[in-house]
A = this chain, B = another copy of it.
């Protein structure tokens, strides 16, 4: 059974499911039946000592890259193993287990002896957030505040690490909000109460009721259309995108998506969300697909808040490693989250007990017709004006991950010109705290954020997303090249010019050469294939085009910054190492930063003409504003990977334009 199941978009008139091939791809995510099998195997193995073993992470243990590539070129020449990686928690220990599905056996198991804890499960978060309601002091605190406890909702927040020597237990903080009259309880903090829960024992180990502040009012917080009061507006018009004959424009074969000149494998992981693998582009001149990416995904998201006070200081989230971008994926809504021509896919992951959990419509894929121009030129200098224009089109892979209050829109966009764009949109609800003030003029102490409404401060914070980009630019062995633009003095004898700029290329030899803060100097960054050249002799390469970057502002000795050291540079390059998957480290909860991208690169390994991985961090510093209350208009960022001498010439020069479709006989229904 395929774990990403195609469902019909509402406009699919004649489009029939193209999951025709039931062939398993070695990078396919684990299927529901595989999760069940893993559950059985692991539970059996630990049945003796099994003191409530919990499945914290279950994901594909990918085969060796060489095996996958061999399988891809000759599917019958090799049978890649089908294995799963399990992070479990049992008897206060974290277990790392590798299960082989074909032999139905555990091929490796070990107790994690270092720092850090695995991902939280949904179940333990739900359980922890329910504890306060049977906890006397909490009930008392709510009563003292004259709040109706049936309208209180509690949420779970990772505790971070702040110098504790050896945290032995997985803990989580719990804070609560008031729903009474709104669905948007994140704007109604029951301020001053913080509980700490031991997740292993599932009990409250610390309780604080420190300060009392009025709960911000419900009025104006709800985002549901059904709860709005006049005046309404503005009114949007209903122009729409139509797929002719219900054809979404791309083909789906298992998890492999083919579109225009692209083919890639679309996976899903409970920790990182969508995984793009084996992305290759068809070169019409070379008559073959050429690989660009072996594997790409968001490896970590670090969200530190900038309020050092008791209720907020610990808010330094690692959203992938702690909460799971895949686990936090929400069902996408047809026509609004994705346009009418989108195709939706379900996703599965293992719940805490190991059994499969389904997220309906977790990913959508659609052709994007934004009205942009792919390329054009009007040549007016000829006797008869010449004009040639091609309209652009993209294929977008989208997932939305809602980690508590924030909704992250995660896009991968493929363009016929060879560009791959990664986009992230920040929306949802800001993290706020309640303050006693109703006007900014009353504020007489630091509130560490923006005052957005009566009694409401949205805390200053950052978002740093690290992208794992295992580029294979036309082959496995690549080099990373920094091209600096440098000012040259013109000689003066032969030219009236005094200056110009030229380029200086430097190939990174080792990891330390490739640690780069983008923007400090004018440079371009490329991953080249040093073993291949274009016909006229240029290095075949892809270029990283930075978008929104930000550098960390925490001091380097601060605990959250030590843990999130991957934010110290925007660019890092490592030699491919199957075990180095997540920039923040494997076990991120309460981690001390002793196993992460920065630590790995201290070995300063060779990266020239090797199979290399580019780790790229984009960032946002966020000073909130009133427009983001009660729900944020999307704030977008991203970057682009763009071919640079990868092709001999413009790969979309000879594109066959879409026939213009007219709909003369349409009847529109509102």
Contacts and interface: CB of A to CB of B under 8 A. Distances in A.
Interface in A418-437: 418-419, 425, 427-429
Copies in the complex: 2
Contacts of A245: 668
A17 interface: no
A184 B308 contact: no
Interface string A478-501: 000001011101110011111111
Contact of A489 (B244, B536, B555, B660): B555
A241 B369 contact: yes
A623 B642 CA distance: 13
B663 A498 contact: no
Contact of A645 (B224, B405, B519, B625): B625
Interface in A154-189: 155, 162-163, 179, 183-185
A372 B244 CA distance: 21
B494 A308 contact: yes
A555 to B, nearest CB: 4
A244 to B, nearest CB: 4
Given A234-B652, A237-B658, A623 B524 contact: yes
Contact of A242 (B239, B378, B553, B558): B239
Contacts of A450: 538
B666 A369 contact: no
Given A233-B261, A382-B183, A373 B241 contact: no
Given A234-B260, A626-B648, A663-B663, 15 more contacts: A162-B496, A184-B377, A223-B653, A233-B284, A238-B659, A239-B244, A242-B242, A309-B494, A313-B496, A330-B380, A331-B387, A375-B633, A375-B634, A522-B551, A663-B668
Interface in A639-670: 642-670
A66 interface: no
Contacts of A142: none
Contact of A623 (B235, B391, B485): B485
17 contacts: A11-B662, A183-B379, A225-B388, A225-B657, A231-B654, A233-B282, A234-B284, A238-B658, A239-B244, A240-B660, A241-B241, A440-B537, A446-B502, A460-B500, A498-B557, A522-B553, A626-B644
Given A287-B231, A371-B368, A236 B656 contact: yes
A415 to B, nearest CB: 8
Interface residues on A, range: 35 or more
Contacts of A670: 244, 659, 661
A346 interface: no
Contacts of A453: 536, 649
Nearest to A520: B519
B666 A242 contact: yes
Contact of A627 (B339, B342, B646): B646
A649 B184 CA distance: 14
A196 to B, nearest CB: 13
B667 A626 contact: no
Interface in A322-351: 330-331, 333, 335-342
A99 interface: no
Interface stretch (A88-96, A131-139, A392-400, A582-590): A392-400
A446 to B, nearest CB: 7
Given A260-B234, A341-B239, A370 B368 contact: yes
B235 A656 contact: yes
Interface centre among A331, A338, A524, A650 (most CB of B within 10 A): A650
A500 B645 contact: no
B667 A665 contact: yes
A496 B559 contact: yes
A211 interface: no
Given A407-B376, A621-B501, A627-B644, A338 B661 contact: no
